[in-house]
Structures are given as C-alpha cells and as structure tokens.
C-alpha cells in the first residue's frame, strides 16, 4: 500500500485539534489516509482547522465539544461512529496548564486542569473502548509530558495531572492489550506552541508540533506484534 495512504479506511479522533500539537497530529493522520474527527471548544478556531484540512483533501469531521463533560464525550463518540463506523485511532491531546506554586493554586485551578488533562482522557477511553473491543483492536494515544516524570517549581497542579495520566494509561494498556488495543503515551518536552511558559527559550531549538505528530505516525504504523508503550521526546539542543 502507498505509504501516504497506509491508514486508508481508518477513523481517527483527535482532541484539542484546532491548533498546535493537536492540529499537527490531525493533519498527519489525514495525510496518511485516515478520516479524522477533530474536536475543540473554540468554534471559530475549529472551523479554521477543518477548512485547512479540507483544502488538503483530508476527510474531516469537526465537533465542538468540551471533553471534560461526559455528555459531550458521549455525543462526540456517537457522532464519529455514526458517521464513519468504529473508531480505530484516538489521540487524547486536549490539555491546559496552570503554573504557580502548589500552595498558591486555587481549587478552581486544580479542578480545571485535572478535569481537562486527566478526567477527560478517562471519559473518552471509557466511551471508545467498547467499540474497539467489538472491532477487534485499535490505538489509544495519550499526549502526556516530561512533566509527568519530572518536578519543577510552579508545576504542582500540571505535574499532578500528567503523573496521573501516566498511571492511568499504563494500567489501561494492561486492561486492553488482550483485545489488541494498544494504549501508548507520548511525553514531549517543551514544544513551540502557545501553551506553557516559554519565556527566555529559543523556540528554534524547541520541539515542533510536527515532531509529536511524527511520533504518533510511528505508533499507529507498528507491526502487529509490536507495542511501544511510551515515547519520551526531547530537542536535540536545550532551548
């Protein structure tokens, strides 16, 4: 099969896909032949992203949704399955960050970050797993961070969400591997996007969104007997 069409016929869902890493991943999967559902909370940016993908002849389904809300997740997954059938690939990319000392964080900070970065992944995995089990396989890729392994000042709430995501992902992988469903985690360092505190860093030396998309492409094209459970990504030079 043509490498540019290797995912032909497969349905993918990418969250937080209106810009940055999520959009790069959605475009990469689409360029490989997948039909891609993209979701975000900003209607204007979501339509801009979908329009750009259509101009590249990618079959795209934009869905306005807040993935921290169970009713939105249920509706979103049902819409994708109704439109394209079983979901083959899910990339949980949506995420937010609050960066301040843990003792100065508010309860609202905690709830918003944990709901988006961790609870939403649980909701989506719970929603897509039955279809993947029935279909006989699939890929769930959770975009974590090196902050899920390393502590830093001001990172208490964000790190808590990503450390939790690591634990959830590794356990879910054990729950689902007998069903030929691979659950993988990608942990990038600083990526040149609008997300996160990048003051004083050389963006030209940082990871780019397309680098993370490349890792996703590698995971979804593994040989049947292979299971890459975790990918750690760093720039070749410190920014």
Average pLDDT over residues 153-170: 96
Say if 210 falls within a structural domain.
yes
Flag whether 57 is in a domain: yes
CATH assignment at residue 220: 3.40.50.720
pLDDT on residue 1: 38
Selection from 80, 65, 75 nearest residue 12 by Cα:
80
pLDDT reading at 66 higher than 90: yes
C-beta atoms surrounding 172 within 10 Å: 19
Tell me, what's the pLDDT at 200? 57
How many domains would you assign to the chain?
A: 1
Nearest to 227 by CA among 177, 162, 186, 155: 177
User: Do the domain assignments include residue 239?
Assistant: no
- Mean per-residue pLDDT for 216-225? 95
Sorted by sequence, the CB contacts under 8 Å of residue 78 that are 6+ apart come out as: none
* pLDDT bucket at 195, cuts 50 / 70 / 90: low
Is 0.85 surpassed by the pTM of this model? yes
State yes or no: pLDDT of 3 exceeds 80: no
Domain for residue 238, yes or no?
no
The answer to whether residue 51 scores a pLDDT higher than 70 is: yes
Does residue 84 contact residue 11 with C-beta atoms inside 8 Å?
A: yes
- The catalytic residue positions are 158
Of 113, 126, 109, 138, nearest to 70 by C-alpha is 126
How confident is the model at residue 206, as a pLDDT?
A: 86
Q: What is the pLDDT of residues 73-114, one digit of tens each?
A: 999 999 999 999 999 999 999 999 999 999 999 999 999 999
Provide the domain limits for residue 117.
3-233
Q: Does 2 score more than 70 pLDDT?
A: no
């Amino acid at each position: 099969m043509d490498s540019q069409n290797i995912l032909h016929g497969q349905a993918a869902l990418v969250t937080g896909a209106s810009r940055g890493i999520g959009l790069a991943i959605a475009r990469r999967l689409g360029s490989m032949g997948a039909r891609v559902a993209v979701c975000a909370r900003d209607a204007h940016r979501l339509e801009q992203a979908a329009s750009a993908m259509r101009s590249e002849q990618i079959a795209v389904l934009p869905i306005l949704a807040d993935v921290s809300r169970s009713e939105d997740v249920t509706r979103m997954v049902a819409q994708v399955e109704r439109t394209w059938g079983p979901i083959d690939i899910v990339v949980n990319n949506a995420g937010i960050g609050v960066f301040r000392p843990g003792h100065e964080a508010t309860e609202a900070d905690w709830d918003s970050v944990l709901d988006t970065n961790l609870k939403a992944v649980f909701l989506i995995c719970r929603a897509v797993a039955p279809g993947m089990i029935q279909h006989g396989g699939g890929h769930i890729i959770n975009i974590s961070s090196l902050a899920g392994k390393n502590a830093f000042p001001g990172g208490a709430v964000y790190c808590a969400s990503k450390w939790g995501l690591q634990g959830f992902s590794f356990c879910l992988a054990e729950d689902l591997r007998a069903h030929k469903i691979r659950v993988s985690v990608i942990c990038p360092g600083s990526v040149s996007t609008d997300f996160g505190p990048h003051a004083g860093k050389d963006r030209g030396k940082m990871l780019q969104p397309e680098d993370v998309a490349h890792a996703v492409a590698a995971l979804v094209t593994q040989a049947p007997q292979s299971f890459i459970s975790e990918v750690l990504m760093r720039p070749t030079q410190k920014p």
